[in-house]
Structure 1
Amino acid sequence: MAIIKRPVIKLQLSLFDKIIEGIGFLLLMTLWLCVYVQYAGLSESIPIHFNFSGEADSFGHKSDIYSLPMLATALYILLTVVNNYPHYFNYLTPITPENAHRQYVIATRLLRYLKVLVVVIFATLISITINY
């Protein structure tokens, strides 16, 4: 298998990209703050698994609630690091010096959206767990 050499470009974030990054980071910090604030009011046993009917079928100690924001943070950091290397991504079109910048911008923006979506999903899981 031949190694394909793609252009390595340092992308400058647009204002829109900075706003998306900010939203993701603020949501992540809000996630941690909500868990911290709600922790004292949790019962000693919280649901840690739900069946397909939405009923809790496994319970754990209330400190297990911190595993969700920790996992969300780990995924957020992983996606942030990966986003710095768009020349290693898989693309549907061949990457040339002419289209590399546009393709890289689209790919990195998609990962920014994914970071926000990951945090929103984990916020939903935490909300369901706390309110159960």
Structure 2
Amino acid sequence: MTEFQHRSYRLQSHPIVRGSGSPQSTRKQGILYCASKAFLHSWLQSLRVQLQETSVEVLELAPPYVQTELGHSSQATDPAAMPLADYTAEVMQILITPNPPYSEILVDRVKALRFAERNGDYERVFASRNKQ
């Protein structure tokens, strides 16, 4: 047992790490972004396993494409992006529910992307995200 794991028995914490809905279906315009978020997602899964017998619950916040200026200024008004206020309200609603989801915080708009492979829809989602 590592020192971190030993100390975490005494603490109850819920760190939230911002991931992305993108790693599950990459885009040709954001190869490195998607790869880094895929790594983060995998690493968080491994960290959860290491900490499963502690009081630390690691949560991953995986947003869809949201209206912010994070990527570029036109993203803030892009109608294809989820309005920031709507995204924030939905995340807060998820977090205040009596039994919030274990491991991932997913708004409805990102679930089709996140679960495309499981739902047998990966090829269509991948193609739609990589149109010319």
TM-score by length of 2: 0.30
Give the structure with the higher percent helix: 1
Larger Rg: 1
